Structure 1
Amino acid sequence: MASELPHATAPFIIFSDFDGTITTRDSNDTATDELGFGLERRRELNLEILNGKKTFRDAFAEMLGSVYAAGHKFDDVKAYLVKHITLDSGFKACFEWCKANNVPLVIVSSGMKPIIEAILINLVGAEDAAKIDIVANDVQIDADGSWRIVYRHPESGFGHDKSRATAPYKALAHSPTLFFCGDGVSDLSAARAADLLFVKVIPDHTNDLSVHCDREKIPYVAFETFDKVQEVVARVVSGQTTVEQELAAPK
């Protein structure tokens, strides 16, 4: 029921991917590249996902499996990522604006919730981290120390179908405006799920979500840091502009 939804009465909601979007580096890519089987194999798998040859669910499990296979315990991986992952330079200011203007910000991630929580606490502090809802996959750690990702939607090729996080809000009577911020192959399921899609596009970096959206003709607003997200959302919230106008503006 709508009353059971967090933020069910909010007129505007920002949903955002975490890794590589709120952070400058993807923690799962970092773990795979530096602790698992490496960048080359990971990029091969990403391209297979983009080209429909492999599901994200299966490829991602293979990436994380390579980290465990290399002998890394889950807590050691978490500590490594907390040490090496940094925050998008505009995120804190954007989140402060969200708090001041009663615009909820919800993380919707294909990563593992315990790692996201640990990184977020390190980057923004425990008090602010507690104010951000996290919808993500989980992890199973066995008595022998072995671990694996536990998907929210194991029946889906996405593992975590991010469109399911926004779908209940689209059905609300007051039709809240939904924003989604993403950057990569884990966000393909959310590309059409929001009213306004923000795609992180960094020059000289891989930008898989923008490739997908350009190919599928899905409109979006490109951004490098959350400063741009804040500016656009503020204009829409204030009534200065509309979602349609922002999507029609030159990239």
Structure 2
Amino acid sequence: MAADLPHASAPFIIFSDFDGTITTRDSNDTATDELGFGVARRRELNVEILNGQKSFRDAFAEMLASVYDAGHKFDAVKDYLVKHITLDTGFKACFDWCKTNNVPLVIVSSGMKPIIEAILANLIGADDAAKIDIIANDVDIAADGSWKIVYRHPESHFGHDKSRATAPYRDLAHKPTLFFCGDGVSDLSAAKASDLLFVKVIEGHTNDLAVHCDREKIPYVAFSNFEQVRDVVARVVDGKATIEQELAAGKQ
């Protein structure tokens, strides 16, 4: 129901992936690469996801299982990632603009909420982190210390179908403008779920979401820093540009 929907009255909402989008590195990739079975196997699985040979749900669970199988307890993994994950240099400026202009910013992640909360609080402070809604998977930690990811939508091959985060807002009478920011295979489900899609593209880095959008001819605006997101959103919010104009100016 709209009455129970956060930010239901907002005319503009930014939804964003967390890992590799708000942060400079994907915490799950970092855990897999440095604590699990390594980057080579992870990239093999990412390619299989892109090519439709394996579901994201199953591949991601395999990546995280490799971290536990290597002997790493959940809290130790969380502490390691808090120490090693850094923030997109433009995110704080974008978030400050959002607060000033009453534009909600919602994290929609295929990662695990406890890890995201810990990293975000470390990067922007606990007070600001508490102002950001997080829609993510959870984790099950057993009495013996074993742990595994708990998917929001285990019946979906995405594990967490990010399009479901934006879908309720499309039924609202005032039709809010929805933005989505992403970068990788975990964002494939959200590629068509917003009015304007931002894809993080950084030279020298893998850009799986860009590959997917180029292949499927899904229009998007490329960005490398969240200040660019802020500037585009600000022009739309202020009525200085339309979604169509920004897409035409960005990479399609």
TM-score (ref. length: structure 1)? 1.00
Residue number in structure 2 paired with 1:198: 198
Distance 1:227 1:12 in 2: 17
1:36-55 matched pairs, under 5 angstroms = 36-55=36-55
Are 2:180 and 1:210 equivalent residues in the alignment?
no
How big is each residue's C-alpha offset from its partner over 1:213-249, in whole Å with a ceiling of 9 and x where there is no partner?
Answer: 0000000000001010000000000000001111111
1:52-71 matched pairs, under 5 angstroms = 52-71=52-71
How big is each residue's C-alpha offset from its partner over 1:32-56, in whole Å with a ceiling of 9 and x where there is no partner?
Answer: 0000000000000000000000000
Q: Per the alignment, in what secondary structure is the counterpart of residue 231 of structure 2?
A: helix
Q: Per the alignment, in what secondary structure is the counterpart of residue 198 of structure 2?
A: strand
Contact 2:222 2:250 survives alignment (8 Å): no
- CA shift for structure 1 position 89: 0.3
Q: Per the alignment, in what secondary structure is the counterpart of residue 53 of structure 2?
A: coil
- CA shift for structure 1 position 250: 4.4
Contact 2:107 2:135 survives alignment (8 Å): yes
Residue number in structure 1 paired with 2:113: 113
- Number of residues of Structure 1 aligned to a counterpart in Structure 2: 251
Residue number in structure 2 paired with 1:19: 19
Distance 2:17 2:44 in 1: 22
Q: RMSD in angstroms over aligned alpha carbons?
A: 0.4
Residue number in structure 1 paired with 2:230: 230
Unaligned runs of 5+ in 2: none
Contact 2:179 2:194 survives alignment (8 Å): yes
Are 2:157 and 1:157 equivalent residues in the alignment?
yes
Distance 1:55 1:225 in 2: 29
Distance 1:212 1:18 in 2: 19
Q: Per the alignment, in what secondary structure is the counterpart of residue 193 of structure 1?
A: coil
How big is each residue's C-alpha offset from its partner over 1:176-218, in whole Å with a ceiling of 9 and x where there is no partner?
Answer: 0000000000000000000000000000110000000000000
Q: Per the alignment, in what secondary structure is the counterpart of residue 116 of structure 1?
A: helix
- CA shift for structure 1 position 136: 0.0
Unaligned runs of 5+ in 1: none
Residue number in structure 2 paired with 1:92: 92
Contact 2:220 2:250 survives alignment (8 Å): no
Q: Per the alignment, in what secondary structure is the counterpart of residue 135 of structure 1?
A: strand
Q: Per the alignment, in what secondary structure is the counterpart of residue 114 of structure 2?
A: helix
Distance 1:160 1:250 in 2: 28
Runs of 4+ with >2 A deviation: none
- Look up the equivalent residue of 1:181 and give its one-letter code: C
Distance 1:246 1:208 in 2: 22
Are 2:184 and 1:177 equivalent residues in the alignment?
no
Give the percent of matched residue pairs that are identical in Structure 1 and Structure 2: 83
Residue number in structure 1 paired with 2:10: 10
Residue number in structure 2 paired with 1:135: 135
Distance 1:52 1:106 in 2: 28
